[in-house]
Structure 1
């Protein structure tokens, strides 16, 4: 049985709860797999008898496959319909999950992860556009808040769940658990997902379809390799190829009558400012999301499962706050949610910048709750704000654009954080070496226990400095957030539509 989108005047939240379950199920399993494999890599090293350089492509291949397909998502939705493309992507992801549970070699697992990523890359941007178009302007924040819960919660519980599965069962179950979720999504989706009216696509931007995926995939690869070295041949090749492809892509898109990604929306000051605030906020947020688990494992010696359990309050806080943030967005707009969210994240980063080797799981509960609440206030309201700044008929293209850029920014944030951490740790090591030389202490006379403790202390100082730097980045994002304007949807659409068709 097929449903059509209800007019705004007939809209009830309860009327889309069942189709929303299908969307949430699809988003949940894709978001879950974005972090679940990281914990399993040490086990896969033994099972496949391979090296980490090869096995890292299990993660990198999945990421690059997603980056290459995200730019196509909007066009596919406009051309074939959001429902058909969303369910097809879920089918491909589920099939990829089944295949990923079967191989006995790293090469086949990498291949199947690419298939999985090609399906998963379309799910989240299409889901965001789907939910946005199903919701009238007065309820967008609430519904997007509900859809955003799995976007934040699934990656947070991914290490906990995968750590438990790897430790007590098998790494293959990381993929097998996607099968029932995918089936539930498909069964509900086929019957209950409403049809969204397709947009007429008069032509095909063939050159854009080649350059767009190439540019975003190459840039994502280049910045991810930057975590090892910004001057390596792999990094320079990825960044160089991506930059050239991106420049050509922008030229092609601005001249095309039917562009793959609607870049002209960047001509809106409100939209561009929102994108900049989102990027800066992502950097500050990743300072908390990425670095704290690394600190717990590298400096404190926590296992993956214990680290996941320690980080769980953050996921719970974000899940609880996100629906509230959605309701507040509908009432007060995005400005104070962004300022408040990044303010909380700044406070959490300040507390993280004072961690040491004596810290326990209980000691970080408060900053974890603050960080989770900040995420809940910021993530989906910012995405909804950006969609509000674009004409409604271009929502599919805008979600593809923002998600493509986020993929690159997230990789850049992680690589930058690793670079800062490495640099600050090396600086402290040099200072300690110079101090020891001045005091006449010989490294040969130092006991192994003392060397180990000194190394851990150096790492802690590096983490503290990096947390401190990211705190100021988050504060900068909060200050810029004060410039965000709410505006009315009607007022926003008119100039934007005129701009698009001028």
Structure 2
């Protein structure tokens, strides 16, 4: 069933279509998505200030990032169901409001525990903004103009991550860390008003069965595993580590069994029956794990060891996003000609080289060496991620392609949370180990720098494994599945099921 709604004249195509006709609703979506993307980039640069302000440790504060990303991963698969049940416009506005409220709460947090809880609220709102926003743009544009419209959408979304660390640095240095969150209030209000006025009313469809058991098991599994990995950075034998990994492992096993038995699962795990798909998505995780973690570790090093301000750190990090933005369109054109394997091999190789150079870091290492490595990391990411993501979709069984997007998007957020929890825990443990080995008379800075070097070396080894695996990539064979899977997603743009 569906409720009567306005039709969308902009999506009918024809010669009378112009960008101006879609500009207002497009602006509402862009403002909302930029707000969420900026928030994902501003917090990393503020981590050292948060540790100092709350007088706590890195292992605690990293949960402001880990909790946020786990919340994102929990709600991303629900985007399609929520849009079908309640309408895309309504859910987009509700999630914008929830994200904005969470941002204000973060800005007035008095303890690290409060900040972590409020960041989770942010994540619950922010997780649906991107998938639903992209789906609405897909619906608004006529088929023959979708490429150009999505290109217009991509420009600000590509620029936002480059300026996020700079904005964060300026706010932290010139005002206070609270404003990296409070600044979302006016942006959120603007997005809400634009959405209310200009987004077309959306149809409500008969929503499919909601996988409630899977929805409950997934957050338990991923959050407890992330907690166990974080605690393991200190000691793999202590009770909290064993408890986290055990509870998370049991929940994950139950989640897998439940999802495989469901006709309409929360995440379509049947895609892993394709060996091509499995190889390519594991490759993607291998790239994401060290890159996500490194882009949290580098600001910590720049501010904690080299004593740059948050604003200076933001400028230093900007080349990463710019180089990634430069590499993506080039790799996109090359992918159509030569496929994923040579691009993944080349990109992963330069990432590995960059991380190995960083692993030799010392108190005398020049800033220009770090900037060069950051640029190489960005280029490597730009040349690797788009081909791998496209290869993942091409490798999925044809009947499952529409359901693979929420799987890969949610998995990316889980990998991000593991990267942050695991690498920050490892960094802390290595610094402690080097300090204890050096003795009381040694310069403590040497132990800190050695800990960072070890962390970069671990990241380099992970990516090096990806270089070897990239040689196993092959042109995927699209597989037809039998009728055991529920019907196709009626909306190929919607990142839900």
Equivalenced residues, count: 480
Per mean C-alpha deviation after superposition, the further-off stretch among 121-130 and 267-276 is 121-130
Of 330, 350, 354, the residue aligned with 1:348 is 354
Of 259, 266, 273, the residue aligned with 2:265 is 259
Is 2:485 aligned against 1:500? yes
In structure 2, the partner of 1:368 is 374
Would the alpha carbon gap of residues 116 and 205 (structure 1) be closer, same or farther in structure 2, given more than 3 Å must change?
same
Alpha-carbon distance in structure 2 between the residues aligned to 1:33 and 1:3: 31
Kindly state the Cα deviation for residue 260 of structure 1 after the two structures are TM-superposed. 1.7
Alpha-carbon distance in structure 2 between the residues aligned to 1:103 and 1:458: 33
Per mean C-alpha deviation after superposition, the further-off stretch among 272-281 and 53-62 is 53-62
Kept in 2: contact 1:32–1:155 (CA 8 A)? yes
Would the alpha carbon gap of residues 189 and 414 (structure 1) be closer, same or farther in structure 2, given more than 3 Å must change?
same
Of 169, 172, 184, the residue aligned with 1:166 is 172
Alpha-carbon distance in structure 2 between the residues aligned to 1:329 and 1:191: 40
Normalised by the length of structure 2, the TM-score is 0.79
Per-residue CA deviation, residues 149-198 of structure 1 (Å, 9 max, x unaligned), is: 77776455434322211221233321232234334544555576688988
Of 456, 462, 466, the residue aligned with 1:473 is 462
Normalised by the length of structure 1, the TM-score is 0.78
Per-residue CA deviation, residues 235-287 of structure 1 (Å, 9 max, x unaligned), is: 33332222222211211111122222211112122221111101111234246
> After superposition, where does 1:383-398 map in structure 2 within 5 Å?
383-390=389-396, 397-398=403-404
Per-residue CA deviation, residues 34-67 of structure 1 (Å, 9 max, x unaligned), is: 34345546666787x7755876665454344334
In structure 2, the partner of 1:318 is 324
> After superposition, where does 1:204-353 map in structure 2 within 5 Å?
204-286=210-292, 288-353=294-359
Would the alpha carbon gap of residues 222 and 461 (structure 1) be closer, same or farther in structure 2, given more than 3 Å must change?
closer
Provide the secondary structure at the position in 1 that maps to 2:480: helix
Would the alpha carbon gap of residues 356 and 403 (structure 1) be closer, same or farther in structure 2, given more than 3 Å must change?
same
In structure 2, the partner of 1:65 is 71
Kept in 2: contact 1:125–1:403 (CA 8 A)? no
Provide the secondary structure at the position in 2 that maps to 1:290: helix
RMSD: 4.2
Alpha-carbon distance in structure 1 between the residues aligned to 2:434 and 2:97: 50
In structure 2, the partner of 1:440 is none
Alpha-carbon distance in structure 2 between the residues aligned to 1:130 and 1:481: 35
Kept in 1: contact 2:46–2:177 (CA 8 A)? yes
> After superposition, where does 1:68-147 map in structure 2 within 5 Å?
68-102=74-108, 109-127=115-133
Per mean C-alpha deviation after superposition, the further-off stretch among 51-60 and 176-185 is 51-60
Kept in 2: contact 1:78–1:200 (CA 8 A)? yes
Would the alpha carbon gap of residues 294 and 176 (structure 1) be closer, same or farther in structure 2, given more than 3 Å must change?
closer
Alpha-carbon distance in structure 1 between the residues aligned to 2:405 and 2:9: 22
Per-residue CA deviation, residues 445-470 of structure 1 (Å, 9 max, x unaligned), is: x5xxxx32xx3334334433443343
In structure 1, the partner of 2:3 is none
> After superposition, where does 1:28-43 map in structure 2 within 5 Å?
28-40=34-46
Alpha-carbon distance in structure 1 between the residues aligned to 2:450 and 2:114: 41
Per mean C-alpha deviation after superposition, the further-off stretch among 145-154 and 270-279 is 145-154
Provide the secondary structure at the position in 1 that maps to 2:485: helix
**What runs of 5+ residues in structure 2 fail to find an aligned partner?**
1-5, 488-497
Per-residue CA deviation, residues 108-147 of structure 1 (Å, 9 max, x unaligned), is: 5554333222101223444566678889999999887876
Per mean C-alpha deviation after superposition, the further-off stretch among 389-398 and 204-213 is 389-398
Of 400, 413, 420, the residue aligned with 2:419 is 413
Alpha-carbon distance in structure 2 between the residues aligned to 1:231 and 1:153: 44
Is 2:188 aligned against 1:182? yes
Alpha-carbon distance in structure 2 between the residues aligned to 1:234 and 1:417: 18
Would the alpha carbon gap of residues 78 and 293 (structure 1) be closer, same or farther in structure 2, given more than 3 Å must change?
same
Kindly state the Cα deviation for residue 97 of structure 1 after the two structures are TM-superposed. 2.2
Kindly state the Cα deviation for residue 93 of structure 1 after the two structures are TM-superposed. 0.9
**What runs of 5+ residues in structure 1 fail to find an aligned partner?**
434-442
Would the alpha carbon gap of residues 103 and 280 (structure 1) be closer, same or farther in structure 2, given more than 3 Å must change?
closer
Provide the secondary structure at the position in 2 that maps to 1:266: helix
Would the alpha carbon gap of residues 252 and 130 (structure 1) be closer, same or farther in structure 2, given more than 3 Å must change?
farther
Would the alpha carbon gap of residues 335 and 129 (structure 1) be closer, same or farther in structure 2, given more than 3 Å must change?
farther
Alpha-carbon distance in structure 2 between the residues aligned to 1:84 and 1:187: 12
